[in-house]
Chains A and B, each alone.
Chain A
Amino acid sequence: MPGKLKSPKELEALNKKLAKGLGTDKARVSVCNGTACRPYGSNPVVEAFKAEINKKGLTDQVEFKVTGCHGFCERGPIAIVEPGNIFYQKIKPEDVPEILDKTVLNKQVISRLLFKDPLTKAEITAQADLPFYKNQKRIILGNNIRIDPTSIEDYISIGGYSALAKALFDYQPEQIIDIIKQSGLRGRGGGGFTTGAKWESCRKAHGDIKYVIVNADEGDPGAYANEGLLTGNPHSVLEGLIIGAFAIGSHQGYIYVRNEYPLALKNIINAMEQAGKLGLLGKNILGSGFDFEVRVNRGGGAFICGESTALMASLEGKVG
C-alpha cells in the first residue's frame, strides 16, 4: 500500500492506477458474504471458490471478489458472474467447480442455479432483470456488488474519496451546504429531515466544538440498511462523514454501531485504519489542513438508543 496521499492529484493518480483493470471483459465472480448469506452457508462457498480457482490455476484469469450484502438475502448464498451479469442463487460448495468450468470458462449458463419467476416459472439469467432488482435504483447500496469492503483500493478504484477531495479543495463549507440543500437530500431514518438544513443549523450553532454522529443503531422490523452499508461499503460512510464534518466545522466524529453487528463493526474499524494510513482521515487530510478524527462506539443492546438524545447520552457513558 502506498504511503500518505498529500494532495488531490496523488489521489487521482492512485485512482487511475487502480481503475486500469476495470471495464475489461475479464471474468469476475462476486460472492455475497454479508450477514444474511452466512446463515445460508456462504462461507463454505467462498472457501470452495478460493480453493477451486487455485486448483485450476485460474488466479490470473478470474477476478474473485467476496463482497458485502447484495440485497436479495432471501435467495442466499448468491453470486454474480461477469461478463453477462449472470445471477446464481442458493449455491452450494458442490456447485462451485461447475460454475467455473461451464460459466466462467465456457460462458454457458447453468439453468439449475438461476432464479425462476414464481408466477411464470420463467428462468431469469441477468441480475438486472430479476423482479426484485428491476424497479430499484440502487444509489447507496449499488456499489456493494462491485467492491471488497475490506479493501480501500477497491473503493478508490471506482472513484471513492474523489468527492471528498472536491469538497475540501474546490468549495467553501457554506457552498457545500448549499449544494446539499439544492440536491434535496433528506435523512433516511423515517423523519425525512432535510440534510442541508440540519448541517446549516449545526454550522451556525453557538460554541466552537462540534461533533458529527453516524447513527447506525437501527432496529426497524426487517430492515437492516445500516448494517448492509457498513458491512458492504464502509468507506462510503466514512467519506460522507468527513464531507459533513468539513461542512459544519467539526473535527471529531462518532460512529455508533449496534454491538449485535459484529461484521459491520469489523469492517468500519478496518476502513478507518486504512483511511488513516492513506492520509484520508486524521490530521491534515489530503494536505488540505483539515483535521478529523473518528471514534467507534458500540451499542449495548438498548432499542431506545437509536433515538438521538438517548444515543448521545449513551455516547457520554450514561444510561440511554
Chain B
Amino acid sequence: MKDAVTAIIKKYGNDKSQLVSILQDIQSEYNYLPRTALDKVSKKMGIPQSQVFALATFFRAFSLKERGKHIVNVCLGTACHVRGGELILDSLQRQLGVNPGGTTADHNFTLESVNCMGCCATGPVVKIGDEYFGHMTNDKVEPMLNKYR
C-alpha cells in the first residue's frame, strides 16, 4: 500500500493543488480511501489532516468505507428523478439489503447514488462498473443484478 500512494503523489509532483486528483487516483487503486493512505498523503505532502479529510468528506465521489467489487450507481439527477429514479433505488435497496453508501455482506455490491451521468434521454439510468442500463424499471432490476452475481 505504501508504495502505491507514494507513486501517486510523485506522479503529481507533490503539487498540493492536485489533491483532488491524487485522492481520486488513490480511490481508483483501492476502491475507497483507506485511512492509512490519507495519513500518508497528509504527512508526505505537508497538508494538515483536517484539510485532507475535509476534501475526502466534501466530495461525494469519495468513500471512506471499503466498497464492494461492483459499484452500482443509481442516477438521481433531476431528469432521472422525474422519470422514477427513486423507485429504482428503492428496489435496489430491497434487493441488495443495503442503504445508499452500503456494501453487501459478501462484498460483491456497493450501492451509491449519483447526480446525472449525461444520458438523460435514457433515464432512469443505472451504471454498474462501466456498463450503462437505461430505461430502468423495477422488473429489470433483478435480471440486471444477476449478471454480476
Chain A residues with CB under 8 A of B122: 36, 39-40, 73, 76
Tell me the bound Cα distance from A298 to B122 in angstroms. Answer: 24
Tell me the bound Cα distance from A298 to B115 in angstroms. Answer: 15
Main secondary structure of the interface of A (DSSP, over half): loop
A318 at the interface (CB under 8 A from B): yes
B121 at the interface (CB under 8 A from A): yes
Asked if A298 contacts B134 (CB within 8 A), the reply is no
A35-B118, A36-B119, A224-B116 known; A298+B132 contact, CB < 8 A: no
A59 at the interface (CB under 8 A from B): no
Tell me the bound Cα distance from A301 to B21 in angstroms. Answer: 13
Asked if B17 contacts A259 (CB within 8 A), the reply is no
Q: Would you give 28 A-B contacts (Cβ < 8 Å), ordered by A?
A: A35-B118, A36-B121, A38-B132, A39-B132, A39-B134, A40-B134, A73-B119, A73-B122, A219-B115, A220-B78, A221-B79, A221-B120, A222-B120, A223-B120, A228-B118, A258-B116, A258-B118, A261-B118, A262-B130, A298-B21, A300-B20, A300-B62, A302-B59, A315-B17, A316-B17, A317-B17, A317-B19, A319-B55
Chain B residues with CB under 8 A of A143: none
Shortest B93–chain A CB gap in Å is 20
Return the contact of A259 from the options B61, B119, B121 (Cβ within 8 A): B61
5 A-B pairs besides A264-B118, A297-B21 with CB distance below 8 A are A36-B121, A39-B135, A260-B116, A301-B60, A317-B55
Asked if A224 contacts B119 (CB within 8 A), the reply is yes
B77 at the interface (CB under 8 A from A): yes
Shortest A18–chain B CB gap in Å is 30
Chain B residues with CB under 8 A of A220: 78
Tell me the bound Cα distance from A76 to B132 in angstroms. Answer: 13
Question: Could you give, for residues 106-149 of chain B, a 1 whenever the CB lies within 8 Å of some chain A CB and a 0 otherwise?
Answer: 00000000111111111001000010111100000000000000
> Interface extent on A, as a size class?
35 or more
Asked if B18 contacts A317 (CB within 8 A), the reply is yes
Which residues 70-85 of A sit at the B interface, judged by CB distance below 8 A? Answer: 73-74, 76
Shortest A314–chain B CB gap in Å is 6
Return the contact of B77 from the options A76, A221, A262, A316 (Cβ within 8 A): A221
Asked if A302 contacts B58 (CB within 8 A), the reply is yes
Question: Could you give, for residues 12-30 of chain B, a 1 whenever the CB lies within 8 Å of some chain A CB and a 0 otherwise?
Answer: 0000111111001000000
Return the contact of A300 from the options B24, B117, B133 (Cβ within 8 A): B24
CB-based nearest A residue for B19: A317
Tell me the bound Cα distance from A297 to B59 in angstroms. Answer: 14
Which 9 residue pairs of A and B lie closest in terms of their CB atoms, listed nearest first?
A300-B59, A39-B134, A73-B121, A221-B78, A227-B118, A317-B19, A36-B119, A301-B61, A224-B118
B7 at the interface (CB under 8 A from A): no
Shortest B54–chain A CB gap in Å is 5
Which residues 25-66 of B sit at the A interface, judged by CB distance below 8 A? Answer: 51, 54-55, 58-62
Asked if B20 contacts A298 (CB within 8 A), the reply is yes
Return the contact of A36 from the options B78, B114, B120 (Cβ within 8 A): B120
Return the contact of B133 from the options A39, A259, A301, A317 (Cβ within 8 A): A39
Chain A residues with CB under 8 A of B130: 262
Question: Could you give, for residues 304-320 of chain A, a 1 whenever the CB lies within 8 Å of some chain B CB and a 0 otherwise?
Answer: 00000000001111111
Asked if A303 contacts B21 (CB within 8 A), the reply is no
Shortest B131–chain A CB gap in Å is 8
Question: Could you give, for residues 216-240 of chain A, a 1 whenever the CB lies within 8 Å of some chain B CB and a 0 otherwise?
Answer: 0001111110011000000000000
Chain A residues with CB under 8 A of B119: 34-36, 38-39, 73, 224
Asked if A260 contacts B125 (CB within 8 A), the reply is no
Chain B residues with CB under 8 A of A261: 117-118
Chain B residues with CB under 8 A of A35: 117-119, 132
Tell me the bound Cα distance from A119 to B10 in angstroms. Answer: 61
